[in-house]
Amino acid sequence: MRYTSILLDLDGTVLDSAPGITACLAYTFRRMGVPVPPPAELLAWVGPPIMDSFRDLAHFDATQAQRALDIYRERYLEVGALDATVYPGMRELLAAIHASPLRLSLATSKPETPATIMLRHFDLLRFFDVITGASDDEVRSAKEDVVAEALVRLRALGADLSAPVMIGDRATDVQGAAANGVPTIFVEWGYGAPDEAAGAIATAATAEDLRALLEL
């Protein structure tokens, strides 16, 4: 097989989770007393670390960003996390990976608690060897740090890391993996614009394309 271990993004790659995320963001902005961005603009928030987006997109200071995070997190865990759907073919792909010699780690900028809740709800948790995401306190949220932690956890399991690959839909996936010497396959069905694939070693338009690239 071409690869030996897989690191897999969640939002925009395994799950179409934008409805729950954007609804909870809109709720957060209303609670903060600021205008709610148009739906198309809110999609830019899906994938990157949320505290970065509160800073860079909403232009909140540190105190505002922390208050917004607290509001968002409570709402998301209550009602938003399960407002998602599995992308076509991804359940079957995860089952094929699980049945292969490949080891699989989640590598998401979403905190591990909601990520685990979502995977368990959609009966996908059983396919993963490792769950790696942002820390629940958001101290570890940059994709570079998430990928580094996923590699540490896979290595602790005895996984073969001679040829790992990242799979994701945003430039942060490509860049965060590259910072750790890991190549990325970019999936086109997610939330990233086409130019976000820059630096990826391959692109996949469907789960079937991805399966072929992984030689499963």
Told to judge if 145 belongs to the known catalytic residues of this protein, a careful annotator would answer no
Distances (CA, A) of 96 to 53, 63, 90, 99: 35, 45, 10, 5
Residues of the chain with pLDDT under 50: none
CATH architecture of 18-80: Orthogonal Bundle (1.10)
pLDDT score of 1: 66
- How far apart are alpha carbons 71 and 76 in whole angstroms? 9
pLDDT score of 15: 97
Give the full edge-to-edge strand order of the sheet including 184-187.
Answer: 130-134, 103-111, 5-8, 164-168, 184-187, 202-204
pLDDT score of 136: 79
* Cα-based angle 116, 129, 12 (whole degrees, multiple of 5): 50
pLDDT score of 49: 84
Which amino acid is it at 148?
A
Residue extents of the structural domains in the chain: 5-16+84-213, 18-80
- How far apart are alpha carbons 33 and 147 in whole angstroms? 35
The greatest distance separating any two alpha carbons of the chain, rounded to the nearest whole angstrom, comes to 53
**Residue 173: both structure tokens together:** 């996936």
Residue that is written with structure tokens 């590699």 in the block: 151
- How far apart are alpha carbons 111 and 185 in whole angstroms? 22
Kindly state which CATH superfamily the domain 5-16+84-213 is placed in: HAD superfamily/HAD-like (3.40.50.1000)
Cβ–Cβ contacts within 10 Å for residue 125, how many? 15
Write down the catalytic residue from 9, 16, 145, 169: 9
Exposure class string for 30-69: b at 16+ Cβ within 10 A, else e: eebeeeebeeeebbbbbbbbbbbbbeebbebeeeebeebb
Q: Are 5-16+84-213 and 18-80 the same fold in CATH?
A: no
What is the phi/psi pair of residue 213, to 5°?
-65, -35
Q: Are the CB atoms for 76 and 24 separated by under 8 Å?
A: yes
pLDDT score of 141: 79
Exposure class string for 174-213: b at 16+ Cβ within 10 A, else e: bbbbbebebbbbbbebbbbeeebbeebebebeebebbbeb
